[in-house]
Amino acid sequence: MTRVARETSPELVRAREAYAGRAWEDAYQLFAAVDRASPLGGEDLAMYSWAAGLSGRDRELLATLERLYQLLLDDDPQMAARVGFWLGFRLSGMGEFGQASGWFARVERLLEREGKPCAVRGYLRIPETMQHLAQNECDEAFASAAEAARIGEEFAEPDLVALARSLQGRARLRQGSIREGLALLDEAMVTVRTDGGAPIVPAIVYCILIEGCRQVYALDRCREWTAVLSSWCESQPQLVAFNGVCMVHRVEVMEMNGQWEAALEEARRACQRLAQTPDPFATPAAHYQKAEMHRLRGELEEAEAAYLEAHRLGREPQPGMSLLRLAQGRGEAALASIRRALAAPGEPLQRARLLPAMVEIALAAGDVEGASAASAELEQLSERFESEVLSAIAAHARGTVLLARGEPQRALDALRPALDVWQRLAAPYLAARVRVSVGLACRALGDEEWAALELTAARKVFEELGAKPDLARLPPPAVDHRSQRPDGLTTRELEVLGLVAAGKTNKVIARELFLSEKTVDRHLSNIFLKLGVSSRAAATAYAFTHKLV
């Protein structure tokens, strides 16, 4: 009689209604009040546990799931096994791998004792698949996930099928089968149900999908699915778990879209949110993204603090930290740092994120050969993974190396396709950076009018975004002094002369104008000949006397 009275009590009715409406905090408080008065039964205890977890109370989620496991163990071992799986899975997500492994083993033993086929056997393939992926055993991961999907279909478990398909997709992406991998991820998303037994499954699948799209530079899908994930989170205002992850992904998309003010604010909110409910993966990622936004805006002290916090929390702060060192004028430290990061073992796609920074830093240090080697590896990876975006990144790197080698026409041929990709994807900052290289290539070819157009377009984007470091690196507009000089200097020679007059060495001039040192030497010889001087000091004096600089 007590049970019937409690089940029809107004408090329990309201708790169930709040749960059905995904008002997780309200549901948690209501279930907790009922549970204090009289222990909840199985179904209500399950809802109570998920309300605890989704309102940011992981420890209470684990404690309540353990209660539920013990409650079900004798009467419904298969359901107890399912609860035990989710206990292990959440522990794994919290980075407590020893306890997670213990629960998975416990569930395996329970199922062996029962000796009956069931969907939970398929769920146990999920952590196995994730372990294979962590060890880069892609064939084994795909096979394990395929078996999980087969079991999910056999027992009509859409949650299991969605999880398994998403991991199959990740395995294929790692192998370089981009089309098949993305198709599997898309299938997972349309398979997952928002009204399944475990309400965290949609968020898990979203995160697997978006991270996979990020790794292979499927930026259009990142935009699309991040919008879907954001909408899902916003439909549940009291959702705490996964909101931080969603915010980190939004920062990345906002950065690409050119919404830098909003991206920085979202990064700050993500750090605050994740400070309340730490996540071993999302929390350091939030600080890294905040650091990236500060670095791009030239807020170098704030960037360093955020990179160091990301590192403290367990994330390798590369390539951002090396690029920060470059922005701080610490070129040798930047080069040593990025070389160290590239020397560490890692997956090919992880290297692809480091190599563009290596090209930029090596060129700044005058190491054209090092930049060329990094560019060549980037091209090989872009061919292997059949990614249009990765190809654009590789083409930009190749173009900047060719500029440094004094081959502007070949550089221009490489840069134009890269610019097309970033313009089509509406990525203004990345397009502007390519425009700078295009402008320098045009200037080297003597087409000053087109160079001015490209550099002006880049300047406008940098100004709108607040990209102060990029603005500072922009070359000054070329000034045509031909009407007032009888010296016969070309526009390029005037640029070289101006930098000589500023006291810069040939090495520095080569770096700033994206030329080889041999080309700078040749320009300087021509300048001496045309001006009838024999030293840098005399050339400088001539330039100031005749107002050429």
Torsion of CA 299, 300, 302, 307, to 10 degrees: 130
pLDDT of 68 strictly over 70: yes
pLDDT value of position 479: 54
pLDDT value of position 165: 96
Output helix, strand, coil percentages for the chain, rounded to the nearest 5: 80, 0, 20
Q: What are phi and psi of 258, to 5 degrees?
A: 85, 20
DSSP string, 476-501: PPP---GGG-SS---HHHHHHHHHHH
pLDDT of 28 strictly over 90: yes
- Radius of gyration of the chain from Cα atoms? 29
- Reported confidence tier of residue 210, pLDDT bands at 50, 70, 90: confident
Torsion of CA 493, 494, 497, 502, to 10 degrees: -140
pLDDT of 484 strictly over 70: no
Whether the bond into 319 is cis, omega within 30 of 0: yes
pLDDT tens string 213-267? 888 888 888 888 888 877 887 888 888 766 777 788 889 889 998 999 999 999 9
Q: What average pLDDT does the segment 408-437 reach?
A: 95
Average pLDDT, the chain: 89
C-alpha to C-alpha distance for 135 and 302, rounded to whole angstroms: 35
Is the CB of residue 441 less than 8 Å from the CB of residue 412?
A: yes
Range of weakest confidence among 99-113, 146-160, 230-244, 368-382: 230-244
- Reported confidence tier of residue 2, pLDDT bands at 50, 70, 90: very low
pLDDT of 287 strictly over 60: yes
C-alpha to C-alpha distance for 361 and 318, rounded to whole angstroms: 13
pLDDT tens string 493-531? 888 888 888 888 888 888 777 677 888 888 888 898 888
Show Cβ contacts of residue 416 under 8 Å, excluding neighbours closer than 6 positions. 438
Q: What average pLDDT does the segment 356-362 reach?
A: 97
Is the CB of residue 349 less than 8 Å from the CB of residue 215?
A: yes
pLDDT of 399 strictly over 90: yes
C-alpha to C-alpha distance for 515 and 509, rounded to whole angstroms: 8
- Reported confidence tier of residue 195, pLDDT bands at 50, 70, 90: low
pLDDT over 70, % of the chain: 95
- The amino acid that residue 291 corresponds to is A
- Reported confidence tier of residue 360, pLDDT bands at 50, 70, 90: very high
Distances (CA, A) of 458 to 128, 332, 491: 48, 28, 21
pLDDT tens string 76-135? 999 999 999 999 999 998 889 999 999 999 999 999 999 999 999 999 999 999 999 989
